[in-house]
Amino acid sequence: MVKRSRLLVTASVVGLGLVVAVVIAAARPSGYATPRPTSAAGVPSDAEARALLTQTYDSAHTAADALAFCASSEARGVCINQYNSEGGRAGVPTAPPTILSSRVQGPSRVLTVCGTTGTGKTYRADFPVERSRQNQTYALLEVFWYSKTFSGTVPDGQPAQVSPGQQAFSC
């Protein structure tokens, strides 16, 4: 009788564990290791992305180092690596970036910017901005002076839309 009770208890625990594992797996969105923030409010506006770029530029000037600048980053390690590879604090641009274009790419608003780093190197990069579930905008690539093109995807293979009238002079 004791062996039968232990067998039933073991089977119940294993069964419960399988149910929990299936529920967790079903709750996770396919294609992502962790749930990606999405918003019912939609893609950030051009004005919101520009305001965040200004805040990021200001933050780069007030932050003592990469750890301080990247403290609230969604991808802190990537941010720190890019910040340090661009010369650290000395590489921070001394003038605000020039915005060349604004486009919608998937769930992101992407500003293409250019300028000169604090070490005299010219850059041209994308500054993608998304909206969190809490309706806050955040940058995917905070180090806007790290010459990087955003390679996000657009649903159904549609081309990215470049907002008309958002073209500026080149750097």
- Neighbouring residues of 70: CB distance < 8 A, sequence distance ≥ 6: 76, 79, 80, 83, 142
Which one, of 72, 61, 68, lies nearest residue 139 by Cα? 72
Predicted confidence band of residue 74 (pLDDT cuts 50, 70, 90): confident
More confidently predicted of 104 and 24: 104
- β-bridge mates for residue 105, sequence order: 108
More confidently predicted of 141 and 51: 51
Query: Which tokens belong to 135?
Result: 């309706």
- Give the span between the Cα atoms of 83 and 129, in whole angstroms: 18
pTM: 0.68
Predicted confidence band of residue 3 (pLDDT cuts 50, 70, 90): low
Per-residue model confidence (pLDDT) at position 20: 34
Q: Which of 31-40, 126-135, 144-153 has the lowest mean pLDDT?
A: 31-40
Predicted confidence band of residue 72 (pLDDT cuts 50, 70, 90): confident
109 by DSSP, 3-state: which? strand
Q: Above 70 in pLDDT, residue 157?
A: no
CB atoms closer than 10 angstroms to residue 85: 12
